[in-house]
Structure 1
C-alpha cells in the first residue's frame, strides 16, 4: 500500500477507535463553505499526483491532494478542460476539495455539474477500508452510483482518495456579449434563448446588464452573435473569472449576508430586499441582503426552490436548506453506513451528519 495512504488509513483507524472527530482538509480554500469545521486536521495534500490522463479517452484520474492548478495545466496542454469550471477560491485548491464541495462555475448550466462528470472514486471509509466505485468510462456503473453521491458531500462520508473525471475539449471559438436589460426582461430573454439552439455557455445579470458567453464552432458562435446582438465585452476572460471566483464587485459588499438561491429558471424577480445577481439562465440567484434566513428560505420555497447561506450572518440558522424528514433519514443511514463512528467532518452539512 502507498506509504501516504497507509498514513491516512492509520489516522482514520485511530480516530474511529477513540471517537475523535476529523477535519478533512486539502488547501483549505473552501473551509468557509458549510457549517464551521472542527476536529483534528487530516491534511489530504500528502496524497497527491495525477494517476492517469488519457486525452483520447477524455478522462483524468488524480489523487485527492492534487492541486487543481496542476490538473488544469495538464489539460490545457491538450486543449482540454474541466467543463464545469470549478472555482479555486485560492491558490491551494485541490481536486479532492473540488469534488467534496460540489461547486461549479459559470459553465455549469450548459455543461453540467461536478457530479455529472464523475466516473469513479476511491474512498477510505470509517472502517479503514479502501472502497472503489465506478471506473474510468461512462457505462460501467452497476447499482447505486456512489462516486456521484460523493460530489458535494463535504467529506462527511469518508476520505476521498482518488477521482476519475470526464474532461472536454475547449471550444474552438468563444465570445462575450453584453446587453442593457432590467431584471424581468433579462429573465424572460434568457428563457427564450434557452429554448433555441444557441451556443450559450454562461450568463450573468447584475445592475441592469446582461452578459452572455457564446462557445462552440466558429460559425455557430458568429451566427449567435448576430442573433443576440449587444456589444462585445473587452477582457471577457477576467469577467468570467470574477464570476467563478466570486471576486466581482457584487460579492464584495460588506455587512450583508450572501445567499445562493436555486429556483426554476422562469421564476419572476424575487421580492426580497437587497441586491441580486442572476446566473445559469435564471436558475441561480445570488442575493446580498439583511433579510432573515426565514424570509429568504420562505421566498425560495414558495417558487419551488431552496436557499443556501454562503457568507456572513449567523450560521446557527443552518447553511443548507432544511431537509424533509424522509430525505434526512436517508442521509443519516448513508452516514451510518460509511462512517459508523461519525468521525468525518461531523456537522459540516447538517448537525445530525
Structure 2
C-alpha cells in the first residue's frame, strides 16, 4: 500500500490548476455535480478494511474499498450502515459514498452520512497525510473536517480513510400502505413524527403513502394495530428501488429530476411534473421540464432549496446543478476551498464554478 500512497503523492505534486486531478473511485456517481475535469486519479488501488470492532460499532475503511464489500462484512455481524447509502452502480466505493454525501430512505430516522463519520484521513495539496476527527487532530482552521468532507465531492483533498459508526440491523421490519392525497400524507407524517412510533422510512407517490416500521416485534405489532394500513409485499425490494432510483418513478420519465429539500411541514408545491415525497416530507423528488428559476424560487418560498439531480434529455447536464448559496455560506465554502486546495487541483467545479 505504501507504493500506492507514493503514487498518489507523485500525482498530486505534478498537478496544476491547468491540469487538475479528477478523484474517482468506481465512477458510479460521475453524473452527479458539476462538469468533470482533470486527469483521473483512480482510488481503487487503495482499498481494504483497516479495522472493524463490532462491539464498538466502528469500522475504518480505505476510500477505494467497494461499498458492497463493507456492507457484506457488516451483515455477517448483523450490522449496517444505517443511513442506507445509495450505490448507483456495482462499483461504488466508500470514498465516493462520503464524497457524494447521499443518504437513503432511513436518513430521516437515523441521520445523514456526515452524522456517522467519526474520523478521516486526508491527503492534502502538499502530499501531507492529515488525520481528523476522532483519530488524532483537529483542523487548524476550526472546521469539523471529518464531517465537512461528506458531500464535498472530492474538492478538498484525497480521502484516504474514513471511520464510520455502524448500527445493528433491526430485529424486524414491515411496511404499511395508506391511500392519502399529498397534502394529507404530509400532514399525517408530521403528526406521526411527533409520536413514539418506530417509523424508519416513508414515501408518498400517486396517492399512496408507504411507511416502514423497524424495531422489536412487540413495537411493530403495537404500531400496526395503532396505524392500520395494508402490509406491502416485497417491501425490501420497494425501498431498495427507491434508494437506487430503480423504481419506475425514476426510470420511466425523461424530464430532469429535481431534488427539493424543504421543511417537513411545507405544503404541497404547485409545480408542473410528477412528485415523490420522502423523509417525512423533507425530501421531494420532482420530474419536471419547468424553468430552473421557477422551481428554485418555489422551493425558496417554501423555506428550502432545489438542485437538479439528474439532467433530462433536453437539459444541459452541467449547468447550474446546485441551488445558489446564500452569500455568507458561499463565503465559507470559498474559504474552505482556499484553505484545503489553494492551487485548485482537486475536482475543480464539481460543487460549482468557484469550487
In the alignment, structure 1 residue 337 sits paired with structure 2 residue 336: no
Q: For residues 168 and 254 of structure 2, what CA distance do their matches in structure 1 show?
A: 41
Paired residues for 1:16-35 under 5 Å: 16=16, 19-35=18-34
Q: For residues 318 and 22 of structure 2, what CA distance do their matches in structure 1 show?
A: 19
Q: Deviations over 1:317-337 (max 9, x none)?
A: 411110122221211111111
Structure 1 range deviating more: 311-320 or 233-242: 311-320
Q: For residues 138 and 8 of structure 2, what CA distance do their matches in structure 1 show?
A: 27
Residue in structure 2 matched with residue 74 of structure 1 by the alignment:
73
Q: Deviations over 1:3-53 (max 9, x none)?
A: 11111111111114x742111000000000001211100000010000000
Residue in structure 2 matched with residue 89 of structure 1 by the alignment:
88
Q: For residues 124 and 300 of structure 2, what CA distance do their matches in structure 1 show?
A: 34
Q: What displacement does 1:215 show? A: 0.2
In the alignment, structure 1 residue 168 sits paired with structure 2 residue 164: no
Paired residues for 1:212-223 under 5 Å: 212-223=211-222
Q: Deviations over 1:62-92 (max 9, x none)?
A: 0000000110000000000000000010100
Instruction: Check conservation: 1:34, 1:349, Cα contact below 8 A.
Output: yes
Residue in structure 2 matched with residue 199 of structure 1 by the alignment:
198
Q: For residues 159 and 192 of structure 1, what CA distance do their matches in structure 2 show?
A: 43
SS in structure 1 at match of 2:44: helix
Q: What displacement does 1:221 show? A: 1.0
Residue in structure 1 matched with residue 185 of structure 2 by the alignment:
186
Instruction: Check conservation: 1:205, 1:211, Cα contact below 8 A.
Output: yes
SS in structure 2 at match of 1:277: strand
Q: Deviations over 1:153-205 (max 9, x none)?
A: 00000011100000000011111111111111111100000000000000000
Q: For residues 65 and 317 of structure 1, what CA distance do their matches in structure 2 show?
A: 29
TM-score for the superposition, normalised by structure 1: 0.96
Paired residues for 1:249-260 under 5 Å: 249-260=248-259
Paired residues for 1:99-110 under 5 Å: 99-110=98-109
Paired residues for 1:111-260 under 5 Å: 111-135=110-134, 144-260=143-259
Residue in structure 1 matched with residue 4 of structure 2 by the alignment:
4
Structure 1 consecutive aligned stretches of length 4 or more whose deviation exceeds 4 Å = 140-143
Instruction: Check conservation: 2:114, 2:148, Cα contact below 8 A.
Output: yes
Instruction: Check conservation: 1:28, 1:92, Cα contact below 8 A.
Output: yes
Q: For residues 261 and 254 of structure 1, what CA distance do their matches in structure 2 show?
A: 17
Residue in structure 1 matched with residue 13 of structure 2 by the alignment:
13
TM-score for the superposition, normalised by structure 2: 0.96
SS in structure 2 at match of 1:34: coil
Q: What displacement does 1:141 show? A: 6.4
Q: What displacement does 1:136 show? A: 5.8
Q: What displacement does 1:228 show? A: 1.4
SS in structure 2 at match of 1:46: coil
How many equivalent residue pairs?
A: 350
Instruction: Check conservation: 2:132, 2:145, Cα contact below 8 A.
Output: yes
Residue in structure 2 matched with residue 318 of structure 1 by the alignment:
320
SS in structure 2 at match of 1:120: strand
Q: What displacement does 1:294 show? A: 0.2
Instruction: Check conservation: 2:62, 2:160, Cα contact below 8 A.
Output: yes
